[in-house]
């Protein structure tokens, strides 16, 4: 493409600044379509209380553990993404489900709730960079290439909850399952069994959760894993590498958890007597391999709550949760594992002004920031989510 002067026109910038522009094909942000209350408004807490009281049973507010305290205060239920998906499905009477979390979680809630229910995400810019690392076109292209290599029919997709509805639907279409960090072990065991002798799992989009579950939880060899790079022909793999692999890991990661380091674990062990290191399975394998405990946000909370008073913990997950744990369990000695990691910026997009705006709009009869997945996508994504909910012995134990 050229400009009127004949000079080549620059390609559109692939990056979308949060809060500006609109990209419905991805998890990336859009602008707030209304007038937000000022963050400095001293009446915000009272306004949120009043709006929630006015809505009563008509509204149900879900809060992920990474949300700010000011938002968690108004959540009817808090949880990890697995628990929140189940809670959303279990509230058929709530007209509005206000999801304080990120976009893929709200999409899953919309898929799991009844037709007459509306899911609201207080800030549409609350996406997830990991979910954005697998676009549906890339995943479809990958599948076609697996078919050309003669391995697709023996491959079962396992997709982490942190993915767009379109990729969940792809998973449902191809007989796979969704998993969360709570049930990845059960999901992977199911998928390997289904793939059968010589079969494979395509694990999307978090390579670390896939690798950690396979190697640490199932005790299987790291050498069985290859990484599919969507930006390279044939994922950057040779036909032999593909043929020999059991786990095809999508090249995606969490930009927050990817920053926890081996050096930080070593420093914690050096500096904190008798410390126990507990990390989320989105951390890199080298970090997870050095940890004492690994688990979802729900498991991290449960483990710390159940430990004898005075236990020292270095916690490797999002900072809002770690700070809350330190406040909730003063009898424990809780440290943040890594000095170079900060909040999940997209989780933090949901703040009190956005929550107040969303709730007050509902009170006034205006439904804002609706998350609605189209019927066709929803049907197949639901199949993959239902498969997750039906996994053998399914519990949120880990």
**218 vs 396, beta carbon nearer ligand 13P:** 396
SS3 state of residue 358? helix
State the minimum distance, in angstroms, from the CB of residue 105 to ligand 13P.
Answer: 8
| Residues in contact with ligand SF4, shown as a per-residue x/- string from 242 to 261 under the rule CB under 6 A | ------------xxxx----
Binding pattern for the stretch 114-133 against ligand SF4, x by CB under 6 A and - elsewhere: --------------xxx---
In the window 226-265, what residues touch ligand 13P (CB under 6 A)? 254
- Site string (270-289) toward ligand 13P, x via CB under 6 A: ------------x-------
Interaction with ligand 13P in 103-162: which residues (CB under 6 A)? 162
Rounded-to-integer distance, Cα 339 and Cα 137, Å: 37
Work out what residue 297 binds among ligand SF4, ligand 13P, none; the CB cut-off runs from 5 to 8 Å by kind: ligand 13P
Nearer to ligand SF4 by Cβ, of 110 and 282: the residue is: 282
Q: Cβ of residue 254: shortest distance to ligand 13P, in angstroms?
A: 5
Taking CB within 5 to 8 Å according to partner kind, which of ligand 13P, ligand SF4, none is near residue 190? none
CA 298/CA 181 separation, integer angstroms: 9
CA distance 177 to 165: 13
Alpha helical stretches, state H, 332-374 = 352-363
The residue number whose beta carbon is nearest to ligand 13P equals: 80
Least Cα distance to 14 among 232, 231, 259 occurs for 231
CB of 217 to ligand 13P, least distance (A): 14
Strand, helix or coil for residue 97: strand
Find where tokens 């022909």 sit. 233
Shorter beta-carbon distance to ligand 13P: residue 162 or 369 = 162
- Positions in 161-200 near ligand 13P (CB under 6 A): 162, 180-181
Q: Which does 346 bind (CB under 5 to 8 A by kind): ligand 13P, ligand SF4, none?
A: ligand SF4
Task: Choose from ligand 13P, ligand SF4, none: what does 296 bind? Cβ within 5-8 Å by kind.
Answer: ligand 13P
Among residues 44, 98, 300, 344, which is the contact residue for ligand SF4, using CB under 6 A? 344
- Shortest CA distance to 125 belongs to which of 371, 354, 348, 346? 346
The nearer residue to ligand SF4, 165 or 254, going by C-beta atoms, is 254
- How many of the chain's residues bind ligand 13P (CB under 6 A)? 11
Sheet containing 96-100: give its strands across.
77-79, 59-64, 96-100, 118-120
Residue 208: closest CA among 253, 265, 166: 253
Instruction: Return the range that interacts with ligand 13P (CB under 6 A); candidates 77-85, 214-222, 354-362, 374-382.
Output: 77-85
Q: Between residues 27 and 282, which has the closer beta carbon with respect to ligand 13P?
A: 282
CA 63 to chain CA centroid, Å, is 13
Q: Is 17 helix (H, G, I), strand (E, B) or coil?
A: coil
Number of H-type helices and E-type strands within the chain: 16, 13
Binding segment for ligand SF4 among 92-100, 143-151, 291-299, 344-352 (CB under 6 A)?
344-352
Which of the residues 262 through 301 are near ligand SF4 (CB under 6 A)? Answer: 282
> 67, 78, 81, 332: which one contacts ligand 13P (CB under 6 A)?
81
DSSP 21-57: S--TTSS------S-PPPTT-TTHHHHHHHHHHHHGG
Instruction: Report in angstroms the alpha-carbon separations of 354 from 102, 204, 333.
Output: 13, 31, 33
CA atoms of 70 and 152, how far apart (whole Å): 47
Number of residues near ligand SF4 (by CB under 6 A)? 14
- Per DSSP, 49 falls in state H
Quick one: 122 or 127, whose CB is closer to ligand 13P? 127
Cα gap 229→248, rounded to integer Å: 10
d(C-alpha 260, C-alpha 300), whole Å: 16
Contact residues for ligand 13P, defined by CB under 6 A: 65, 80-82, 162, 180-181, 254, 282, 296-297
């Amino acid at each position: 493409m050229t400009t009127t002067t004949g000079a080549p026109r620059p390609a559109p910038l692939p990056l979308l600044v949060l809060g500006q522009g609109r990209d419905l094909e991805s998890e990336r942000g859009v602008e707030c379509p209304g007038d937000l209350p000022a963050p400095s408004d001293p009446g915000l807490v009272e306004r949120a209380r009043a709006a929630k009281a006015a809505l009563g049973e008509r509204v149900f507010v879900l809060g992920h553990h990474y949300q700010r305290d000011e938002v968690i205060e108004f959540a009817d239920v808090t949880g990890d993404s697995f628990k929140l998906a189940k809670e959303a499905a279990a509230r058929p009477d709530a007209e509005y489900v206000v999801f304080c979390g990120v976009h893929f979680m709200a999409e899953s809630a919309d898929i799991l709730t009844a037709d007459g229910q509306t899911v609201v995400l207080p800030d549409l810019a609350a996406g997830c960079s990991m979910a954005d690392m697998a676009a549906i076109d890339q995943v479809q292209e990958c599948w076609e290439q697996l078919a050309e290599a003669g391995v697709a029919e023996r491959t079962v997709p396992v997709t982490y909850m942190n993915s767009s509805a379109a990729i969940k639907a792809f998973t449902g279409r191809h007989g796979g399952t969704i998993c969360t960090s709570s049930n990845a072990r059960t999901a992977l065991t199911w998928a390997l069994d289904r793939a059968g002798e010589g079969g494979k799992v395509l694990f999307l989009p978090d390579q670390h959760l896939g690798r950690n579950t396979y190697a640490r939880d199932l005790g299987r060899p790291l050498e069985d894993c290859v990484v599919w790079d969507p930006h390279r022909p044939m994922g950057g793999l040779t036909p032999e590498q593909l043929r020999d692999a059991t786990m095809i890991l999508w090249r995606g990661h969490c930009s927050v958890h990817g920053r926890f380091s081996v050096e930080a674990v070593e420093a914690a062990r050096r500096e904190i007597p008798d410390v126990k290191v507990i990390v989320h399975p989105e951390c890199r394998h080298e970090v997870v391999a050095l940890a004492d405990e690994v688990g979802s946000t729900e498991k991290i909370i449960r483990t710390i709550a159940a430990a004898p008073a005075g236990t020292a913990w270095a916690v490797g997950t999002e900072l809002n949760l770690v700070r809350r744990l330190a406040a909730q369990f003063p009898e424990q000695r809780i440290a943040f594992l890594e000095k170079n990691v900060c909040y999940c910026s997209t989780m933090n997009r949901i703040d009190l002004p956005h929550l107040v705006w969303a709730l007050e709009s509902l009170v006034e009869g205006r439904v804002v920031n609706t998350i609605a997945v189209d019927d066709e996508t929803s049907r197949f994504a639901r199949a993959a989510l239902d498969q997750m909910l039906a996994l053998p012995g399914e519990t949120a134990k880990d």
